[in-house]
Amino acid sequence: MSTAKKEYKRVTVKSLTEMKHSNEKISMLTAYDYTMAKIIDSAGIDVILVGDSASNVMAGHETTLPITLDQMIYHASSVVRAVDRALVVVDLPFGSYQSDPKEALRSAIRIMKESGGHSVKLEGGSEVKDSIKRILHAGIPVMGHLGLTPQSIYKFGTYTVRAKEKAEAEKLKEDALLLEKWGCFALVLEKVPASLAQEVAESLTIPVIGIGAGSGVDGQVLVSHDMFGMTHEFNPRFLRRYLNLYDDMGNAVSQYVKDVKSVDFPNDKEQY
Ligand code: KIV
């Protein structure tokens, strides 16, 4: 049997389902600006998430709650301008979809129209059923997000692993099945036991993308600033850092300061 993977010139929601069914793992990273998105897309990522984690890593807020719909649209439109291949998923921010399905649809439409993103992601299951259905009804692809849902941090009180207890695990499994039934094209599972995540992935036909959810799911997502090592205070067990840019960039800045002070920079060739 051939093991050759299909080449995708442009990744769509349909490509992700095909990847799941051909056992090709899906790669996903966040991006919030043009330059980062260009690097990540050119390197062959399948999905770029314009996450509301922009609230933390770009704006320095403690939680994802403060970021606004306008700010998400600004980040998403910068990303979309850079992307040639990846599917772009944009988070609906806290407050833009929970109170009423009509508002949820208006928010999703604004993201699609004003940023050019290809789909939206929102957190929760049965609690946000009407919002999800309304958005899907308008032809907008929706990615679900269960497990640790950072927009509900004040309800949880901590960022620890979710669904370790039976009741919460059962509710998560039910919600995952509902999201698939309603028509979501994929699901993020954040910080849940690996065995539970694998069980969910095996029970669904749509792809399950994990973060802190083990290897038995259909793909992985990380916050790019964490995987590049640009952040250094956030050290969860699930994070693999591929670079140490916090130190590398800091060292470059120290060298630049020295070079400017000593008039080593600019040299004769670096001027007109
Ligand atoms: O906002 C985000 O970056 C996310 C990922 C952690 C999945 O939702």
DSSP 177-206: HHHHHHT-SEEEEES--HHHHHHHHHH-SS
Pocket lining: 91 vs ligand 1, CB cutoff 6 Å: yes
Per-residue pLDDT tens for 257-272? 999 999 999 999 999 9
Q: pTM for the full model? A: 0.97
What is the CATH class of 13-241? alpha beta
Residue to mutate, 48, 52, 230, ligand 1, most ligand atoms under 8 Å from C-beta:
52
Per-residue pLDDT tens for 45-56? 999 999 999 999
Per-residue pLDDT tens for 125-137? 999 999 999 999 9
Question: Is 233 one of the annotated active-site residues of the chain?
Answer: no
Expressed in angstroms and rounded, the spacing between residue 189 Cα and the centre of ligand 1 is 10
Pocket lining: 220 vs ligand 1, CB cutoff 6 Å: no
Pocket lining: 224 vs ligand 1, CB cutoff 6 Å: no
Per-residue pLDDT tens for 11-47? 999 999 999 999 999 999 999 999 999 999 999 999 9
What b/e readout covers 149-167, taking b as 16+ CB neighbours within 10 angstroms? bbbbbeeeeeeebbbeeee
Pocket lining: 72 vs ligand 1, CB cutoff 6 Å: no
Q: Which spans in the chain are helix H?
A: 13-21, 34-42, 54-57, 69-82, 101-115, 129-137, 153-156, 166-182, 194-203, 224-227, 245-261
Closest ligand 1 atom, residue 221 Cα? 7
Pocket lining: 30 vs ligand 1, CB cutoff 6 Å: yes
Q: Which of 24, 123, 180, 190 is catalytic?
A: 190
In terms of DSSP bridges, do strands 208-211 and 219-222 run parallel, antiparallel, or are they unpaired?
A: parallel
* Ranges of each domain in the chain: 13-241, 244-272
Expressed in angstroms and rounded, the spacing between residue 136 Cα and the centre of ligand 1 is 21
